[in-house]
Amino acid sequence: MYTKKVYNIKTMLKWTRYETFLFITIITLFVGLYYFLDLEWLKIPWTPLALIGTAVSFVIGFQNNSAYGRIWEARQIWGGIVNNSKTFGMFVQDMISNEHATEKLSKKELQKEIKTLTYRHIAWMTALRHAMRASKPWETVIHEKANKELIKKIGFAPPEWSSNVLDDMKPYLSKQDLDYTMSKKNKQTALLYLQSHHLKELKEKGILWEFSFLELEGVLKEMFTLQGKSERIKNFPYPRQFATLNHYFMWIFVLLLPLGLVPQFGEIGQEMSLTHPTVGSLFIWFSIPFYVIVAWIFHTMEKIGRTGENPFEGSANDVPISTISRGIEIDLRQNLGESLDDIPKEFPMIFDTQM
C-alpha cells in the first residue's frame, strides 16, 4: 500500500456525498407529494419495515465481519512475509560459509552468493506484489467515482499501476534468471524454485551445511505457504450472492423507509397541531433529516463492507503491500552493508487525507 487514510466525519461525508444527495432528493420528493397532495393512504405499517431493517442490518453486519476477516487475514499473511524475509536474510548471511566447503571460496565470492540470494528474494516480493495488484473482474470498488476522486486528490496511486514487473525485477536478477522468470505465468513461484535450486547447488559444494540447507528450505516452504494464502484471497472473491443481494436489500429498505417514516411524522404533527398549529403543520418536514441519517448509516456501513472485500485491490484502505515490500527491501539491503544512497526510498505515506 502507498497511503494511510485516516477517516474523520468530514472525509466520510465527502466520500458518500453523492448518495447523500440522492437520499435528500428521495425523501424531499416523497414528503412534498405527501404534504401537498394529501396522500395519507400512502403508507405501510412499521412492523414489516422493522423486520426488513433488522434483516438488512444482520446481512450488513455479516458482510462487514467477513470483509474485515479478509483484510485481517491478508495483513497477517504479509506480516508473516515480513518475519520470514528477515529470517531468510539472516540465515543466508550466517549459514553460507567455507566451513564445510570442498573448494573454499573467497570472501568476495561468498558475499556474491549471499547478495544473489537476497536480491532474488526481493525480486520474489516484487513479483508477488505485482500479482496481487493485478486487476480482477470482480474488483470494481476502485472504479467508483468517489474512490477515483480520492486517488486524484491525493495525487498518488499504487506504484504497481505505473510500472511493470519486468522493469521492477530487472535490478535484482541476472539476465538468465530474469528470462527464466518472465517465461513463467506465475513468476513468484518460478523465483522460489530458482532459490531452492541455488541452495541445492551450494549444499552440494559444501558452501551450505546439510542442516543449514534444510533450515533454509523450511523458510522457502513457509514462503510458498504465505504466497499461496495471499493468492487465495486475491483469486477467490467475496461470494457475489452475499455482496450483490446485500446491496439490493439495503436499497429496498432505503426506498421503503419513507412509507413508514413520513406518515409517522405526519401523525405526530397532527397531534401537535392541537396545541401548536404552525409547528404541527410543518412537523412532517422534520422527517427529512431523520430519514437521511438512517439511510446514510445503512448505506455507509454497506459501502464500507464492499470496500473491504478485496484487500489487494489498490484502494486507500487495503493492505499496504507496496510499503511492506519496500520496507523489507530496505532492511535486507542495509544488512548487506549497502549505502543508504544506493537503496530505494520508502514509498510516500499520506496521513489524514481530505477529499
pLDDT in tens, 192-216: 999 999 999 999 999 999 999 999 9
In the prediction, which pLDDT does 43 show? 81
- What predicted TM-score, i.e. pTM, was given to this entire model? 0.83
Distance in angstroms (rounded) separating the CA atoms of residues 168 and 224: 21
Average pLDDT of span 144-164: 72
In the prediction, which pLDDT does 103 show? 87
**Residue 165, burial from CB neighbour count under 10 angstroms (0-12, 13-18, 19+):** buried
Q: Which range among 120-124, 165-169, 244-248 shows the weakest confidence by mean pLDDT?
A: 244-248
Residue with more model confidence, 161 or 169 = 169
Q: How far is CA 150 from the centre of its chain?
A: 15
Average pLDDT of span 47-62: 89
What is the secondary structure of 136-189 as a DSSP string?
Answer: -TT--GGGSHHHHHHHHHHT---GGGSS-HHHHHGGGS-HHHHHHHHTSSSHHH
Cell numbers placing 259: 412509507
In the prediction, which pLDDT does 143 show? 67
pLDDT above 90 for 294: yes
173: which residues sit within 8 A by CB, 6+ positions away? Answer: 119, 120, 123, 181
pLDDT > 90: percent of the chain: 49
pLDDT per residue over 19-42, tens digit each?
899 999 999 999 988 888 877 777
